[in-house]
Amino acid sequence: MKIRPTSQRIIKRVMFLNSVDKSSVKSGSIALGISLFTALAAGIILGSITDTLLELPGLIVLAPAAIGLRGNVFGALASRLSTMARLGELRFSRKINTNVGQNLLASISLSIFCSFVLALLAKIVSEAFGTDKAISLADFFTISIIGAIIPTLIVLFVTIFLAKICVKRDWDLDNIAAPIVTATGDLVTIPSLLFATIFIKLGWISTFVGFVSAAAAIAIFLLSIFSKYMLLKRIIRESTPVIIVGGLISIFAGITVQGRLESLSQFTIFLVLVPPLLSINGSIGSILSARISTKLHLGTLPSHKISIPGASEDFAIAYSLAVPIFLLIGIFVSVFTVVGHLSGPSNILLILVSLIAGLIATTFSNIIGYITAIITYRFGLDPDNFAVPTVTSVSDLIGAVVLMSTIGVLVL
């Protein structure tokens, strides 16, 4: 079969860009590889609690938003730290009056408060879309906020650790942080949410814990937004709306899965596929948006126009990472159908679902990540606060819709 001249030019261009920036491809591949295994572990956990998801209607509605929240908050933190490192302004300190200290405090505040808001939104959306016998608002508060405490501390530690390692070894944090931070959030959030469900079986104690934790989340937010520290307030004010909107988008991703939960219970292996596909899709889009954000700050990419040639290297790297990683996801999930004794279609179909859905979703996520970074920077806002949360949240919805559609076309 002959390859057309245009196709030859595209292939040569991609190969050239990859050879120019081998370190980015290598570091991104390693990070996504680590992300893959942790996200698969999260998927295995999700696939193993199908009965709990059916027993607690609405939990799967909250789950994508709760999982994605850690990636949104701490992915943006890593992107800001990366920009500070590139500008020579990164000085690690636990003091609140330092840039790093205010960034850390803002991230903790956002993680806890937005967990409260997402619980409220999950309840509203569940009722609006007719989820039968959805759990109570107090139960949503308990699961979301209590289930956020441990993941917040763990992902915060991982983000700081990655930033220190990257600075020490002169690695590009933009290529490494998003996949690992997102996957860590996936891995620790699902067990934490499952642990928090213990409280909702304790009658009035659940109601008490739910509303007390909600009050605490609001108090933390108010103390942060009215703080005397300007950077802290700026991060809170700029990040809160986009994280909440992003969380709402992720909730609709949960509604998409909730609507197919009964049919998915026939092939429980597809629940295992949900976290890694959504996570990797968001991670690749986040890598691209973080790279674009850094280029905008450094002035190496124009913000007054859409410049595809200027970002061609970043898109090429994104697809160089996407093709093998989604193929691997399909292979690992197909192997687990045998090892884990979970019901599923043929191995070929599983691999095709993973690869096709992953590449389609990644295309949309990359475009959204690029445009978001350009637009926010053009309006004088910090794309580090907007691009990563936007792309990871939208990627959840895109990934869920594309995955469910691909499953519907090829399997169900």
Is 9's pLDDT higher than 50?
no
**pLDDT reading at 84 higher than 60:** yes
Q: How far apart are CA 278 and CA 261, in angstroms?
A: 17
Q: Where are the alpha helices (DSSP H) in 134-229?
A: 137-141, 147-169, 173-196, 204-225
Q: How confident is the model at residue 6 (pLDDT cuts 50, 70, 90)?
A: very low
Domain that holds residue 238: 5-410
Least trusted range by pLDDT, from 14-23, 196-205, 303-312, 395-404: 14-23
Q: How confident is the model at residue 20 (pLDDT cuts 50, 70, 90)?
A: very low
Q: Residue 194's pLDDT band (boundaries 50, 70, 90)?
A: confident
pLDDT score, position 22: 56
Most confident of 261-265, 272-276, 336-340: 272-276
3-state SS, residue 380? coil
Residue 121 has pLDDT above 90, yes or no: yes
Name the range with the highest mean pLDDT among 54-58, 153-157, 258-262.
153-157
Determine the pLDDT at residue 123: 92
Mean pLDDT to the nearest integer, 349-360: 91
The pLDDT value given to residue 258: 81
**Average pLDDT of the segment spanning 29-35:** 70
Mean pLDDT of 168-188: 74
Would the pLDDT of 13 be above 70?
A: no
Distance of CA 37 to the CA centre of its chain: 15
Tell me how many domains the chain contains. 1
**How large is the average pLDDT for residues 401-405?**
88
C-alpha torsion sign, points 367, 373, 379, 384? positive
Q: Is the pTM of this model over 0.95?
A: no
- The CA distances from residue 181 to 8, 177, 184, 223, 310, in Å, are 36, 6, 5, 26, 27
CA dihedral 120, 74, 175, 47 (to 10 degrees): -50
Q: Which two tokens stand for residue 300?
A: 């190496």
For residue 43, the number of C-alpha atoms closer than 13 Å in the C-beta half-sphere is 29
Structure confidence at residue 111 as a pLDDT band (50, 70, 90)? very high
Give the pLDDT confidence score for residue 78 in this predicted structure.
80
